[in-house]
Amino acid sequence: MEAQRMTAGSVRAIGTRPKDLAARARAAAEVAGADAAAVDAAARFPSGAFAQIRKQKLLGIQVPQSLDGEGASLDDLADVCYILGGACASTGLIYAMHQIKIACIVRHAKGNAALERILRRVATEQLLLASSTTEGQAGGNVRSSEAAIEREAGHVSLERKATVISYAVEADGIVTTARRAADAAGSDQVLLVLLKADYTLERLQSWDTLGMRGTHSEGFTLRARAPADQVLPEPYEKIHPQTMVPYAHLLWGSVWAGIAAAAAGKAQAFIRHAVRQSNGQVPPGAAHFTQAMSTLRMLRGVLGAALRSYEAVMSDEKAIAALEFQSMITLTKVQASELAVATVLHSLRACGLSGFRNDTEFSIGRHLRDVLSAPLMINNDRILSNLATTSLMTPLPTSISG
Ligand X SMILES: Cc1cc2nc3c(=O)[nH]c(=O)nc-3n(C[C@H](O)[C@H](O)[C@H](O)COP(=O)(O)OP(=O)(O)OC[C@H]3O[C@@H](n4cnc5c(N)ncnc54)[C@H](O)[C@@H]3O)c2cc1C
Contact positions vs ligand X (CB under 6 A): 97, 130-134, 139-140, 164-166, 212, 215, 217, 373, 376-379, 381-382, 385-386
Q: Which is nearer to ligand X, 131 or 295 (CB)?
A: 131
* Of 25, 94, 106, nearest in space to 65 by CA: 106
Please report how many Cα atoms fall inside a 13 Å half-sphere around the Cα of residue 17, on the Cβ side.
13
Work out how close the CB of 176 gets to ligand X at its nearest, in angstroms, rounded to a whole number: 8
Work out how close the CB of 35 gets to ligand X at its nearest, in angstroms, rounded to a whole number: 18
Work out how close the CB of 167 gets to ligand X at its nearest, in angstroms, rounded to a whole number: 7
Q: Can you tell me the distance from the alpha carbon of 178 to that of 145, in angstroms, rounded to the nearest whole number?
A: 5
Residue least distant from ligand X (Cβ): 139
Work out how close the CB of 335 gets to ligand X at its nearest, in angstroms, rounded to a whole number: 17
* Of 279, 294, 269, 270, nearest in space to 352 by CA: 270
Work out how close the CB of 212 gets to ligand X at its nearest, in angstroms, rounded to a whole number: 4
Q: Can you tell me the distance from the alpha carbon of 226 to that of 298, in angstroms, rounded to the nearest whole number?
A: 45
Q: Which is nearer to ligand X, 213 or 266 (CB)?
A: 213
Work out how close the CB of 105 gets to ligand X at its nearest, in angstroms, rounded to a whole number: 16
Which value, to the nearest 10 degrees, does the dihedral of the CA atoms of residues 131, 136, 137, 143 take? -50
Work out how close the CB of 203 gets to ligand X at its nearest, in angstroms, rounded to a whole number: 15
Q: Which is nearer to ligand X, 120 or 367 (CB)?
A: 367
Q: Which is nearer to ligand X, 74 or 175 (CB)?
A: 175
Q: Which amino acid is at 150?
A: E
Q: Which is nearer to ligand X, 212 or 299 (CB)?
A: 212
Q: Which amino acid is at 266?
A: K
Q: Which is nearer to ligand X, 48 or 140 (CB)?
A: 140
Q: Can you tell me the distance from the alpha carbon of 92 to that of 49, in angstroms, rounded to the nearest whole number?
A: 10
Q: Which is nearer to ligand X, 24 or 240 (CB)?
A: 240
Work out how close the CB of 363 gets to ligand X at its nearest, in angstroms, rounded to a whole number: 21
Q: Can you tell me the distance from the alpha carbon of 96 to that of 123, in angstroms, rounded to the nearest whole number?
A: 16
Work out how close the CB of 191 gets to ligand X at its nearest, in angstroms, rounded to a whole number: 12
Q: Which is nearer to ligand X, 81 or 165 (CB)?
A: 165
User: 181 vs 129, 146, 148, CA distance in Å?
Assistant: 24, 10, 5
Q: Which is nearer to ligand X, 164 or 194 (CB)?
A: 164
Q: Can you tell me the distance from the alpha carbon of 301 to that of 295, in angstroms, rounded to the nearest whole number?
A: 10
Work out how close the CB of 209 gets to ligand X at its nearest, in angstroms, rounded to a whole number: 7
Q: Which is nearer to ligand X, 277 or 386 (CB)?
A: 386
